[in-house]
Structure 1
Amino acid sequence: MFPDLLRDDIFRLETKRLWLRWPRIADAAAIVRLAGDKDVAQMTARIPHPYPQAAADRWIFESRVGNAQGSAVVLALTLKDRPSELIGVIGVHQTRAGRALLGYWLGKPFWGQGLMTEATQALVDLAFRASEVEKIETHAMVDNPRSCGVLLNAGFVVEGEKPVDMAERGGVFVCRYFGLDRETWQARQTAPLAAGDMRLAC
């Protein structure tokens, strides 16, 4: 699905404040600490709390395999002045022909700065420009307004809500489903921001 350019671990995506790069085994400690934070984990469907070291090692290995095979683009978020220090993760995974699933998390110390909005917009642009994906889908818990804001900023459209059984969270939670298709993304590239239009930020 994704081209050879993205299948090498020297690949790096640059934004105004971030480097997005392949995850490394040296990132495991930061993943355990940041993703395993209860406030972070409880807003996701599958991140355990606490986060075991072995699970972090396994996730890194599986992410690198997916990147190398071209079935996913999973990247560690780092600040430009600290490129070796992971602060979050973002990725798109092929689900079926022409479709991809977006997922992400950001360490709590970095919330409220617009960093995940910045990363999401960059990865969405990359996915549409570098592959033949026609639609990117994702979801967020309805009581996670930060994540919903990130998706709206990136051009995603709300497509509905439904309850989801989240074993790691110990129950059923209502999630809001979002989608962004290629046509909508392309229109957004050239559309000027309307007067008074406000972009929510994570």
Structure 2
Amino acid sequence: MSSPNSSVFDLETPVLETPRLIMRPPHREDIEDLAFIGNNREIAEMTSRMPHPYSKDDALAFIESFENGRYEGCIYAITQTDSGRLIGMGAVENRERFGGLEIGYWLGKPYWGRGFATEAASALVDLAFRVTETDCVYAACRTNNPASRAVLRKQGFNFVGLDEMNSLAAGVVPIERHCLERDVWLDKKSEESKAVARK
């Protein structure tokens, strides 16, 4: 398996667009909305770095960390195209411990169950494969998070094993690790192109 090309980390989080989303770098104008949608225990317990309660100070600390280059990868504010409203966060980050690039995402609870996570995950996966030479993109989800597992399966991810994660909100919790191989992604993109051509 080849290692990821470092060019993804030289990019200044390029804007990504999907049919209903614009994914862009987070900025300080997001602090109030980020604190509002992020202040949910159900969300925090599914992540490693989100505390609960989640305040404006926490949102500011996150934005400052992004501005200071703390994260090795592309960090995204997920917004709705029609309104510009912030609905969640996403990332493609370097995870050398797990073999390369890993995508992650979360959405505010009002936006669950509407297909936004699938759109965001697809955009993150496409970025990872298109700007690097990695053979596999990784993702993880809590073992008690069937919705996130379903999103990963829609992208073609395969389960590779169980692990543990240190969550600020929930402590040490069991997680599943998944991998999407480049050839599977290419086959999926080819099928999508054929489907569009048939319309």
TM-score normalised by L of structure 1: 0.82
Tell me if structure 1 keeps the 8 A contact 2:78–2:90: yes
Letter in 2 for 1:43: M
The residue aligned with 2:57 is: 54
The percent identity for this pair of structures is 34
Residue pair 1:36, 1:47 contacting (<8 A) in 2 also: no
Give the SS at the match of 1:168. Answer: coil
Q: For structure 1, which runs of at least 5 residues remain unmatched after alignment? A: 193-202
CA distance in structure 1 between the aligned counterparts of 2:93 and 2:168, rounded to whole angstroms: 21
Shift, 1:149, TM fit:
0.8
Query: How far apart, in 1, do the equivalents of 2:49 and 2:169 lie?
Result: 6
* 1:165-195 C-alpha deviation (Å, 9 max, x unpaired): 434303x322111111222222322247xxx
8 Å CA contact 2:93–2:103 kept in 1: the answer is yes
Task: Please give the secondary structure, in 2, of the residue aligned with 1:162.
Answer: strand
Q: State the partner residue of 1:81.
A: 82
Counterpart in the other structure of 1:157:
158
| RMSD of equivalent CA atoms | 2.4
TM-score, normalised relative to structure 2: 0.83
Gaps of 5+ in 2: 1-5, 193-199
Does the 8 A contact of 1:24 with 1:60 survive in 2? yes
Distance in 2, Cα, partners of 1:12 & 1:167:
29
Report the number of matched residues.
186
Partner AA of 2:179 in structure 1: G
State which drifts further: 47-56 or 105-114. 47-56
Runs (4+) off by over 4 Å: none
CA contact (8 A) 1:2 1:72 kept: no
Structure 2: distance between partners of 1:41 and 1:167: 8
